[in-house]
Amino acid sequence: MADVGDVTRFADRNRFASWTGTAPLDASSGEQNRHRLSRAGNRRMNHMIHIAAISQLRLDTDGRAYYRRKRAEGKKSLEAIRCLKRRLSDAIYRQLLDDAQADPSVDDAGPGGHCGAALTSSAVDLPPHIDTSDQPLPGPADQTLRPTPPARKAPPGNALRPAG
């Protein structure tokens, strides 16, 4: 939910759904009227909504009943899941708007809905990042190969001569 930031930056639920990638794209052709999932938008948010939709299908919830209604209407499985994801996106948007419009003096909740939360960080400095490349190395390895012997010079009288 941290990816959303200030939910009021979205004009309406349709813009929010487009940002999350749950807004349907028209894939109609001729007399066939259908929609497909969008591959655009915030993929992490889309993944979170997808996990929520699949969890709704596994349990006896309102989402499962909605999915079954869509299947009864003749939608294929993926189309019904797309509809459920859009419905979840709308519910998330409504909840975020309600949280943003709530009076913070009533329940002392800051941004994010937690008491004492602030938009600025109180951290003085970031923790140091230690990676395997930042750790000291043990030093050069012992040589396991014998040094190559120096090249022998041929005596001057036995020099190779071109054929000729």
- pLDDT digits 0-9 by tens, 42-88: 888 989 999 999 999 999 999 999 999 999 999 999 889 999 999 99
Q: In the chain, pLDDT over 70 holds for what percent of residues?
A: 66
d(Cα 75, Cα 110) in Å, to the nearest integer?
42
Inform me whether the pLDDT recorded for 90 exceeds 90. Answer: yes
Q: By C-alpha distance, which of 10, 8, 30, 29 is closest to 18?
A: 10
Percent of the chain past pLDDT 90, that is, above it, reads 27
| Between 89 and 103, the higher pLDDT residue | 89
Element (H, E) at 101: helix 77-101
Residue type, 42: N
| CB of 61 closer than 8 Å to CB of 32 | no
Report how far residue 117's alpha carbon sits from residue 129's, in angstroms, rounded to the nearest whole number. Answer: 25
Q: Token digits for 142?
A: 């012992």
Mean pLDDT computed over 100-118: 59
